[in-house]
Amino acid sequence: MFESPRTHEENIEQVTSRHEQQQARRRSSQHSECQLQRINALEPARRIKSEAGVTEIWDENDEQFECAGVAVIRHTIQKRGLLLPAYTNTPKLVYVEQGRGIQGAVFPGCPETFQSSGQFSRDGSQSSEDQHQKVRQVREGDVVALPSGVADWFYNNGDSPLVLVQLLDTINPANQLDQDFRNFFLAGNPQRELQSQRSSYQRDQFEGQRGRQDED
């Protein structure tokens, strides 16, 4: 009826390990079935405007992206605009296509005692930095790699739009539910807009498929 804490932890680890192995086999099987004859340039499927810029999302259900196991998002942030803090359920690469800005990231498990060393400005005075997160300058051509679950944000402190292209690894074992990416915002309420856009796009896709079936 009862078991020791150690036995209980071992059972949880075994169940988790089996689940991860099943997910890996399923993803590997789907990936091996890809047989693309050519690669086509695609336009964004969804476009979301906000006060500080535009977010464009490509169709993650497209055969090319499903085969590669990735999703693609492009953010265009206007001068003095902020991309709200958020984290995803997948690892991602962020490529700075244009402009420059500031990027901050909060890593889970980072001790609250973490403190960045101060920097000295040109006039010799010491400037203070954020004490509990990694903050860095980014510019055109930079690539930022982030694990799943890491909250990050971008701020455009340049004179031109800051354009970021995000590549999300949807078949990574860290994405345990399915091959869809999910954004979790820590500020603001853009989830409603994103969900509305996704539902509208899926409805249009369904109507288009049903129309083709009726014609057949």
Q: At 3, is the pLDDT very low, low, confident or very high (cuts 50, 70, 90)?
A: very low
pLDDT averaged over every residue in the chain = 75
Are the CB atoms for 111 and 168 separated by under 8 Å? no
pLDDT in tens, 46-74: 999 989 999 999 998 898 988 889 999 99
Taking 50 as the threshold, does the pLDDT of residue 17 lie above it?
Answer: yes
Residue-range definition of the domain harbouring residue 162: 46-110+130-210
Q: Could you report the per-residue pLDDT of 88-131, keeping only the tens digit for each?
A: 889 999 999 999 999 999 876 665 555 555 554 445 444 555 55
State the DSSP H helix or E strand holding residue 5, giving kind and residue range, or none if neither: helix 5-32
**In contact, 44 and 57? CB cutoff 8 Å:** yes
CA distances from 15 to 11, 18, 29, 71, 179 (A): 6, 5, 21, 29, 21
Q: Is residue 15 part of a domain?
A: no
Residue 15, burial from CB neighbour count under 10 angstroms (0-12, 13-18, 19+): exposed
pTM above threshold 0.75 = no
Q: Which residue type, as a one-letter code, is found at position 136? A: R
Cα-atom radius of gyration of the chain, to the nearest Å?
21
Question: Is 27 a member of any domain?
Answer: no
Asked whether residue 175 is assigned to any structural domain, the reply reads yes
pLDDT at 16 over 80: no
- d(CA 135, CA 148) in angstroms, rounded, equals 18
Residue 14 lies in a domain: no
Q: The CATH number of the domain where 102 resides is what?
A: 2.60.120.10
Decide if 25 is inside a domain: no
Tell me how many domains the chain contains.
1
Which amino acid is located at 49 in the chain?
K
Decide: helix, strand or coil at residue 23: helix
